[in-house]
Amino acid sequence: MSRKQQLDRPGAPGGPPADDTGCTILHVDMDAFYASVSLLDHPDLRGTPVIVGGGGTRGVVLSATYEARRAGVHSAMPMTRARRLCPQATILQPQPDRYAAVSAAVMEVFREVTPLVEPLSLDEAFLDVAGALRRLGRPSVIGETIRARVADEQGVTCSVGVASTKFVAKLATTRAKPDGLLVVPRDGVVAFLHPLPVSALWGVGERTEEVLTRLGLRTVGDLARTPQGTLERALGPAAGAHLAALAWGRDERRVVSREPDKSIGAEETFATDVDDPTVIQRELLRLSEGVAARLRAAGYVGRTVSLKVRFADFTTISRSRTLREATDVGQEVYATARALYLALGLQRARIRLVGVRVEGLADTAGRTQQLLLDAPERGWREAELAIDSAARRFGAGAVRPGSLVPGHHDPRGSGDPGRARSL
DNA sequence: TCTGGGGTCCTTTTGCCC
DNA sequence: TCTGGGGCAAAAGGACCC
């Protein structure tokens, strides 16, 4: 984008200088990240509509170039609809490893600016640059330096919001996109916020917007003039108080460089709905093994296993069980998930998705030693650690439970794929 | 139009203990 | 012994974000 649009923005190069004093929070967000990274390998597609999205009939749009967005395509939209809206678009399959690599390189650029980097996802992060001003210049200068370096070194563009609080910086980024930078001066926060629609606020999605609309509240300014008690009654105490604060630009949250994970999970939507319990359990086993491997790789154990089931009509239920001892063993995760599934007593209900998640995480180092004395579990854990190292040497999938090997037939017909291993 | 997969957080319900 | 209720943790569901 263009200079033209940037000229309208206070603080943009060529425009009236905005006062960025005290605006030490930067929010950096990559522009159409997945699509932009995919274009690095397809330079011929630059300037054309491109959609990155899941392959099957049930995929959604992960990311789309601005050319495709002009046709109304946006992320999270079902692929079938996106294709109809923009039939001339090129469809690319996601390349998760590529995105992770570019993301890591970009985060490294951020960390050279300040150690106070808080990634929100692969493609965005908060930076607190208060400690870097002397070395690198004013916040807006640091923002432009980052934008230039990311573009030079990674070949993708990003946008930067500069403000005195996290959420105003994040909103500023939205207004700066694509390929821009916007400063919201400290004394301009309320004027910036109040004309915005309530849906611009972090935490206001479709449902909350509906509730607010019923109260006649359209803009952030409307929200700001509403008694906090009213908001709390309509939305609950936490959300009500939160929005009342945000509407006046109050946001005390600091930039924190690394929060420990709270949960690790995996889920899978079947290409077509499944009613065969054997297929469901095989999938639960596959998901459980994957989740446990990720727990071990990250050095976590978790105490609560939760199962998620989404039926053909999209209604979704979850069931969870807390174990006596935290685990990172796939067989234990699977046994729990399977028990939760069987306890549902489903009579061949048509199932669209199943998921397994482990919550209540703690560092492996601090886990109770009792597990180590428990002979059978110890056996599984050691087997799985051996699988981990085989996977590192020979590639993921080198060693798998027997029932996950294509063409395998369960010799005992127990319907439980878990205990037959092709070790 | 027909809805992914990775998460976090909040609210309500439930069961247990005192 | 019966009942009520406070306090708590776990379970379940749902909204939201990227």
As averages over each run of 10 residues, the pLDDT of chain A (423 residues) reads 40 65 96 95 95 84 94 92 93 92 95 94 95 97 97 96 95 94 96 94 88 92 92 87 92 87 94 95 95 93 94 93 92 95 92 95 70 58 79 68 58 51 40
CA A122, CA A132: separation in Å to the nearest integer?
A: 23
Confidence at residue A374, expressed as pLDDT on a 0 to 100 scale: 52
CA A333, CA A127: separation in Å to the nearest integer?
A: 37
CA A420, CA A412: separation in Å to the nearest integer?
A: 9
Nucleotide nearest to A291 (CA to C1'): B6
Confidence at residue A324, expressed as pLDDT on a 0 to 100 scale: 87
Confidence at residue A1, expressed as pLDDT on a 0 to 100 scale: 41
Taking a C-beta distance cutoff of 8 angstroms, is the pair A210, A234 a contact? no
Nearest C-alpha neighbor of A189 from the set A220, A159, A217: A220
From the candidates A67, A108, A112, A124, give the one annotated as an active-site residue.
Answer: A124
Nucleotide nearest to A238 (CA to C1'): B10
Spacing of A378 CA from B18 C1' in Å: 38
Partners of A334 in beta bridges:
none
Residue with CA nearest B11 C1'? A236
Confidence at residue A413, expressed as pLDDT on a 0 to 100 scale: 43
Confidence at residue A390, expressed as pLDDT on a 0 to 100 scale: 77
Confidence at residue A405, expressed as pLDDT on a 0 to 100 scale: 58
Confidence at residue A423, expressed as pLDDT on a 0 to 100 scale: 35
Taking a C-beta distance cutoff of 8 angstroms, is the pair A30, A154 a contact? no
CA distances from A36 to A18, A33, A204, A229, A329 (A): 30, 5, 28, 45, 38
Maximum CA extent, chain A: 77
Active site residue A332: no
CA A177, CA A162: separation in Å to the nearest integer?
A: 13
Spacing of A151 CA from B12 C1' in Å: 48
Nearest C-alpha neighbor of A274 from the set A265, A264, A260, A284: A284
Spacing of A413 CA from B10 C1' in Å: 44
Burial A128-161 (b: 16+ CB within 10 A, else e): bbeebeeebebbbebbbebbebbeeebebbbbbb
